[in-house]
Chain A
Amino acid sequence: MNSAMKRNIFAILFIISLGWQSCTSDFLDVPLQGKSTAETDPDLAQNLVIGVYNSLMTGEAFGAEGDIHGIAFVSATNIMSDDAEKGSTPSDQQGTVGVLDDFSLTPTNLFVQSLWAGHYNGIAKVNNALVIIEKSTLDDATKKKLIAEIRFIRGYYYFNLVRWFGGVPKILRVPNDANDANSDPVFQTRASVDEIYQVIIDDMSFGINNLPLRNIAGSGRISKGTAQAMLSKVYLYRKDYQKAYDLSLEVINSGQYDLLPNYETIWRQAGDNSREAIFEIQTGQFNNSDYGINTYSMFQGPRVGGKGGWTDLGWGFCTPSQSLVNAYEAGDVRKNATIIFIDNSGKYTGTRLFDGFRIPSSDSVQNLRYNYKAYHSENKNVESFLGNRDRKQKNVHLLRFAEALLINAEAANELAKPDLAIQNLNRVRTRANLAGRATASKEKIREYIWHERHVELAMEHDRFFDLVRTGQAATVMKNNQRNYMVGKHEFLPIPALQIALSGGKLTQNTGY
């Protein structure tokens, strides 16, 4: 081979090597590794519905993802009400939680921002899922049922938002991109309170019309009963007593629900998804670990203090107040089922909890009272526990049969059916080991029912909303030495960050 031939061969090789690269244009079409997309998941519709249920567990009060039922929720419900105080040490989380407790909060409060972000992230999950379900190949009946379940959850999220913030942006679709999100006024301006309530009523009514009476017993799935009971509560807020009455009566007469004989069992694992449960956040295990709401139980667990020397159960927030203790009538079994009392007798007997755990006396404990309804045993023989203290398997009871009875009682009383009202009220009182109320004036019965709601549903995230709804907030908060200002503190401030991001189009609530 002469050198010219060699060179030709080299030239050809060179051209081939260049050509190989240019001819393989799909060389750059590298599929995304390790992350599925809407196109690559065949069961996307059902999976997204589960993802919406999962959003009920959102509890990232310190993170961008936000909070739905985590510690910001606990703070802006129980701690903000007269049921509980901030707890823990005086300075601990003063800037986030403490300001909610004493009503010195400002629009930059992190937990308020978290609640806003958490709820809207949840709503976006519903909106995303709705698009995918519509496009899916599922049969119409399945589609409707799935849509009904998640629309109920969207309605519930708006119900929380409207109670905390008043009118809020009404988001029923997914934005296309950042530009869409930053330009369409829907994403920047507040709808009226009435418009938001209409969304809630529409979503929940869709649930009532498309869900089975009880959706797989004991599963915690949203059912017709859940939607009826929650919507009856919504109508109490709208003062539409007839609808509240009708819906709650359907729940009571459905034969699906009843009171548990023993009040304290409701907050034991044995009481999870009992016949009293109507809307309950589910917990369990996943990935070989506990799977509950992030730090819900830990946040409220008894905390070491003073001389210490024991392994505490939590951070000691959300401590039941003296006024809650005083609210119970003598002999009410609900007091000791709701409150862990720390031994402060000077005899150092400590406090023995239902699972046998002994909390030392007040010299080694930070606070004098803790929330028993948030307690979950770490004794594996008593309740499920895989060792993850932050994600304890503590179901959260958002709506149960006793409240349906009280909703029905309140509506009945307003509709001038005092006997029905007293009958429902006394069902609740009897279980609490209290004598029944005798019939009385409409005003007196109303007072009875509101009082019963207070003690029956104490520490169940309802009290603050109820005080505002019933107009008792000003008096009650004043009696509790809180800085509550009428005309301002009915609502939380709209987060300052959100106002800034809307270019100032989102308006602030009065007084902030």
Chain B
Amino acid sequence: MVLMMAVNIAFGQDPTKGRVIDGKSKEGIPGVSIRIKNTSVGTTSDYNGNFQLSQKTPLTIIISSVGYQTKEVSLTASSSNIELTESTQDLDQVVVVGYGTQRKVDVTGSTASVKGEELVKQVVMTPTQAIQGKVAGVQIISSGRPGSSPDVRIRGVGTALAGTATLFVVDGVLTDDITNINTADITNVDILKDASSTAIYGSRGANGVVIITTKRGASSKLTVNYNGTMGIRQAANLVKMANATEYANYVSAASGQLERAGDISTDWYGTILRTGIVQQHALSISGGSEKIKNFLSLGYLNEDGIVINNNFKRFTARLNNDYIVNKVLKFGLTNAFSNSLDRNVNLGTAYNNAYRAAPLIESKVNGLYGNTSLYQNVGNPILDIENSNDLSTINRLQSSLNVDLTILDNLSFRSSIGGDLIYNNNRVYNAKFLNDNSTFIQAGGNQRNPNSNLKTAQTTSFRWVWDNILTYQTNIKDHSFKIMVGSTAEHYAMNYFTAFRQNVPAAENLWYIGTGNANTSTNDGFGDEWARNSYIGRLNYNFKDTYLFTSTLRADGSSRFPTQNRWGYFPSFGAAWVISNESFMKDLTVIESLKLKASWGRVGNDRIASDSYITTVDPNLAYAFGGGTATPGSAITQLKDKNIKWETTEELDFGLEFSLLKGKLQGEIGYYDKKSKDLLINVKVPSVVGDKDGVILTNAASIQNTGLEIAMTYRNRLSNDLSYKIGGNVTLNQNKVIGLNGGQPILDGGIGAAQQFTTKTDNNQPVGSFYVLQVLGVFQNDGEVSAYQNSKGQVIQPSASAGDFRYQDINDDGKIDDNDRVFVGSYQPKAYFGLNLGLTYKAFDLSVDAYGNVGNVIYNGKKAFRQGLLDNIEASMAYSRWSRGSGINNEPAANAGNLPASTYFVESGDFIRINNITLSYAIPTKILDKIKANNTRVFVSAQNIFTFQKYTGFTPELTGDPTRAGIELNAYPTMKSISVGLNIGF
């Protein structure tokens, strides 16, 4: 696609002013970077594309912006409009790298960038959600829970037990949680994928880094922007449970006793799920003078969960200011305040109970609850949710102040100090109710709460980070160098306090600890504190824009490791060859650009608890000598590894970037080989050593991820009114454990009473692979049971009867036990992909995105949890179950659950989802001019509206710990939503 770009410059007086506009639409382009050549002095354009520079003409400036060709323009007093007609290449974007920026063309590692305006088109709470399916190598696994942010897995699972959270860097402040950021405030999201890119973040780079840059003001007249959306959402996919008749027939068949269905048939999921309403509003004011630039924004988000009572509200305010004192000295201030109200529901209990509760029981009639526990020892899920009120109020202030000194034209210094203060105040009130006729339709059962109670918990944390960065750049003929050195220090402190009392009155205005019975009060508290100190350096070398080299080094010191392992060193090297800039390529007009790159880097993962290497004493192990009040005692219950260190990942990365057919076809092919070693795992030790949990956390495992990423976009303009874009990306990843170094395999994923574990993380298998019995079929008659023998003629399942599963006796020992389990795959997909379509016709713009994965398996934990005769069943089981003479071989006879872990519960995780359809209409300028508005757009957007999945549960997209993430037990269902929105600027 050929885009026109124009720079209109207004001159005559000091300072230099200008406006950057899109060559085609003639509209101003916001957020364009304008930099005076060979210096780090620059500015960005405002919403209308206006900018001003304090320097006088003549000047040579470099103008760059995401999606546009970077342009060098010489400004002289006599210059007026400069028309530019260059084709666009993504390679010319400016991207944010750690502690600085680079032209994308100079980047030797693997990064990806998403513009803020892409993010606000979708109704998503966190920006990472909007990236789903857009970037190769990045898997976004969303949870539908309001107030939660999705799991981001970059290039496979590279850890087992340490934190998997991606590091976020918000305007230079490092954090694990970005749920406080108003999406409308974001200019750019940059994702650093490979180790050579993230090595500048050293011991925290192992899970990838996402850098978020928020908007800043420009020196121009004031502009006002409003951005609002409103929508509805529902569960994307529901599991149909048996109705009363189907249930009664199944239970009768399983027990041999007649169970009759009455008039009642409750759809329990229907009673706790709903259609939720979501709205968000963002208002921003931007502008300033050449000395002071301001960006002020206010945001409001209100998300209803699709489970009753579940809601998330967030109010945000941001004030980003820049103060330009003179050519040498500049200050920047960033302030983001957020206030969130998170009304949580205990999904674990309610969801599980909704699956198990019998449809024969009433849900709730005239304020009285159906008594499921009287019938089957399962709580009424509506009551589970309604009798508990869990609200977290989170106030968060994230601020930073930076000082920029331009010591020489090519030497600059930045000192930046940032703080992140979080107050989280949680209160959970559980109302009193008895198992009598005032609560239930029928009295009895064991669901009751004889004493109301209130628990409050306050967490206060403060983190500060101080960076000092010196940047020097110079050109010696065709050799260009950029050198950055710096130091950073970081400190974190957290304080937790909780209190509890019973017999707190039911009125919400009395939900304070003081109103409860003091004789029941308990409290607890703990804290955490750690510090990091690091030194960083980076060298960029560029020869004629053809040969590029980057090297970084970070030395990281962390208080969380014993003195002898305190410091770690994280180097990286990267090189690129821009083949298309070679003279021999000039004649090949079909190739516009071609860049080959290779890099290597080492990064770490230090997300472990502060006491991991220190032997601690457990307090409050009391004994009541002679009865009455017990005397507190203590015990040493844990064996610790005194030599613990961080996990280390080394990654080799190759990439080929290309742009063909005058930029119509752009793409990138990448290969990576990522080895993570010294991974922290819990090594099981014999119970005789007396470790309370039977495991010792130590560095023992190694994991390898190898993969191939391909991303391509084809853009074409058919006429002045019609253009389209087709983009796609696919990532093939292979994950395997390559060493346990004496550690035992990790068994995890226990479900219910009958399945103590379902996954095994072992050599040569992907992390969290399912390890279960192999179902061979169903015994069709008793003869088959006695005929099922091992090689020695022993009957393998003597206690089985017709209709039971036949399991494979792998070791031929004549019995079925844990030694007969086999590996049957992992939740990690062999491939995942995204497809992005765009169509622009006049003022209409349509985008359609799809996302999916193949080659993984999911464990149907809900089905596996079924542990009693009276637990409900999925409707499909009512019809597909085995009966004598049916010949059915994949579903057992009606049974009481408690089945062992087997391939019966393992299902394909393949799916494809249309995760976004957005149609927008830009209101024509002539209408807008009448109301003095500009940049105005209305849109309608649908998320996750179609899903094609093989899995029979709610969702194959599952978040969780690496060793057990593929089990669907209490996952918040993925949601589909439809929303309408408006962007308007003045």
Binding site for B on A (CB under 8 A): 3, 6-7, 10-11, 14, 17-18, 21-22, 24, 27-38, 41, 44, 46-57, 64-66, 91, 93, 95-96, 106, 108, 110, 113, 116-117, 120-121, 123-125, 127-129, 169, 171, 174-175, 177-178, 181-182, 187-188, 216, 218-221, 269, 272-273, 282-289, 291, 304, 308-312, 384, 386-387, 393, 395, 495-498, 500-502, 506
B559 within 8 A of A: yes
Known A17-B415, A288-B522, A308-B445; 16 more pairs at CB < 8 Å: A21-B489, A22-B487, A28-B532, A30-B610, A34-B525, A41-B617, A48-B634, A50-B622, A64-B695, A124-B691, A129-B635, A171-B688, A221-B625, A282-B623, A284-B630, A286-B622
Which residues of chain A have C-beta atoms less than 8 A from B619's C-beta?
36, 47
Residue of B nearest to A36 (CB): B617
Stretch from B24-32, B678-686, B711-719, B876-884 at the A interface = B678-686
The residue in B443, B487, B621 that gathers the most chain A C-beta atoms within 10 A of its C-beta is B621
User: What is the distance, in angstroms, from B455's C-beta to the closest C-beta of chain A?
Assistant: 13
Which listed residue (A21, A52, A57, A106) contacts B533, Cβ 8 A? A21
B582 within 8 A of A: no
Binding site for A on B (CB under 8 A): 328, 374, 405, 407-408, 413, 415, 434-435, 442-446, 448, 450-451, 466, 468, 470, 487-489, 491, 493, 502, 519-522, 525-533, 535, 557-559, 566, 610-611, 614-637, 639-642, 683-696, 698, 742, 744, 753-754, 756, 817-818, 868-869, 896, 898
Which residues of chain A have C-beta atoms less than 8 A from B415's C-beta?
14, 17
Q: Are B627 and A284 in contact (CB under 8 A)?
A: yes
The residue in B487, B489, B624 that gathers the most chain A C-beta atoms within 10 A of its C-beta is B624
Q: How far is A285 from B488 in the complex, measured between Cα atoms in Å?
A: 50
Q: How far is A206 from B37 in the complex, measured between Cα atoms in Å?
A: 87
Q: How far is A442 from B615 in the complex, measured between Cα atoms in Å?
A: 57
Q: Are A291 and B444 in contact (CB under 8 A)?
A: no
Which listed residue (B435, B491, B626, B629) contacts A285, Cβ 8 A? B629
Which listed residue (B522, B611, B637) contacts A121, Cβ 8 A? B637
Residue of B nearest to A286 (CB): B630
Residue of A nearest to B634 (CB): A47
Q: Are A91 and B625 in contact (CB under 8 A)?
A: no
Q: Are B413 and A10 in contact (CB under 8 A)?
A: yes
User: What is the distance, in angstroms, from A174's C-beta to the closest C-beta of chain B?
Assistant: 7
Which listed residue (A171, A304, A393) contacts B627, Cβ 8 A? A393
The residue in A56, A96, A387 that gathers the most chain B C-beta atoms within 10 A of its C-beta is A387
A188/B530 contact (C-beta < 8 A), A35-B616, A41-B634 known: no
Q: How far is A288 from B519 in the complex, measured between Cα atoms in Å?
A: 6
Which residues of chain B have C-beta atoms less than 8 A from A91's C-beta?
868-869, 896, 898
The residue in B407, B529, B630, B640 that gathers the most chain A C-beta atoms within 10 A of its C-beta is B630
Q: Are A30 and B529 in contact (CB under 8 A)?
A: yes
Which residues of chain A have C-beta atoms less than 8 A from B627's C-beta?
269, 272-273, 282-284, 384, 393, 395
Which residues of chain A have C-beta atoms less than 8 A from B487's C-beta?
17-18, 21-22
Which listed residue (A46, A288, A495) contacts B521, Cβ 8 A? A288
Q: Are A273 and B626 in contact (CB under 8 A)?
A: yes
A-B contact pairs, 22 of them (CB 8 A): A17-B415, A30-B529, A37-B614, A38-B636, A41-B634, A48-B635, A48-B636, A50-B621, A50-B632, A50-B634, A54-B622, A57-B623, A91-B869, A106-B817, A108-B817, A171-B690, A181-B639, A219-B626, A308-B374, A309-B442, A387-B502, A500-B744
Nearest 6 A/B pairs, CB to CB: A124-B690, A50-B633, A284-B624, A51-B635, A117-B687, A34-B526
Q: How far is A395 from B630 in the complex, measured between Cα atoms in Å?
A: 13
Which residues of chain B have C-beta atoms less than 8 A from A31's C-beta?
529
Q: How far is A181 from B502 in the complex, measured between Cα atoms in Å?
A: 45
Q: Are B687 and A309 in contact (CB under 8 A)?
A: no
Q: How far is A10 from B470 in the complex, measured between Cα atoms in Å?
A: 11
User: What is the distance, in angstroms, from B27's C-beta to the closest C-beta of chain A?
Assistant: 41
Which listed residue (B531, B532, B616) contacts A36, Cβ 8 A? B616
Which listed residue (A47, A174, A216, A308) contacts B632, Cβ 8 A? A47
Which residues of chain B have C-beta atoms less than 8 A from A219's C-beta?
625-626
Q: How far is A465 from B557 in the complex, measured between Cα atoms in Å?
A: 58
Residue of B nearest to A384 (CB): B627
Which residues of chain B have C-beta atoms less than 8 A from A14's C-beta?
413, 415, 468, 470
A216/B610 contact (C-beta < 8 A), A48-B635, A121-B637, A175-B639 known: no
Q: How far is A119 from B199 in the complex, measured between Cα atoms in Å?
A: 48
Which residues of chain A have C-beta atoms less than 8 A from B529's C-beta?
30-31, 33
Q: How far is A312 from B698 in the complex, measured between Cα atoms in Å?
A: 46
The residue in B527, B622, B684 that gathers the most chain A C-beta atoms within 10 A of its C-beta is B622
Which residues of chain B have C-beta atoms less than 8 A from A171's C-beta?
688-690
Q: Are A218 and B685 in contact (CB under 8 A)?
A: no
Q: Are B435 and A30 in contact (CB under 8 A)?
A: no
Q: How far is A285 from B630 in the complex, measured between Cα atoms in Å?
A: 6
Residue of B nearest to A107 (CB): B817
Which residues of chain B have C-beta atoms less than 8 A from A37's C-beta?
614-617
Q: How far is A281 from B530 in the complex, measured between Cα atoms in Å?
A: 42
Q: Are A51 and B557 in contact (CB under 8 A)?
A: no
Which residues of chain A have C-beta atoms less than 8 A from B470's C-beta?
14
Which residues of chain B have C-beta atoms less than 8 A from A35's C-beta?
526, 611, 614, 616-617
Which residues of chain B have C-beta atoms less than 8 A from A178's C-beta?
639, 641, 683, 685, 696, 698
Which residues of chain A have C-beta atoms less than 8 A from B519's C-beta?
288, 386
Residue of A nearest to B742 (CB): A182
Which listed residue (A32, A55, A288, A498) contacts B686, Cβ 8 A? A498
A182/B685 contact (C-beta < 8 A), A28-B558, A32-B616, A54-B635 known: yes
User: What is the distance, in angstroms, from B616's C-beta to the closest C-beta of chain A?
Assistant: 4
Residue of B nearest to A283 (CB): B624
Which listed residue (B446, B448, B502, B624) contacts A291, Cβ 8 A? B624
Q: Are A287 and B522 in contact (CB under 8 A)?
A: yes
Q: How far is A123 from B502 in the complex, measured between Cα atoms in Å?
A: 37
Which residues of chain A have C-beta atoms less than 8 A from B744's C-beta?
500-501
Q: How far is A187 from B817 in the complex, measured between Cα atoms in Å?
A: 26
The residue in A219, A288, A393, A495 that gathers the most chain B C-beta atoms within 10 A of its C-beta is A288
Q: How far is A49 from B623 in the complex, measured between Cα atoms in Å?
A: 10
Q: Are A216 and B527 in contact (CB under 8 A)?
A: no
Which residues of chain B have C-beta atoms less than 8 A from A36's C-beta?
616-617, 619, 634
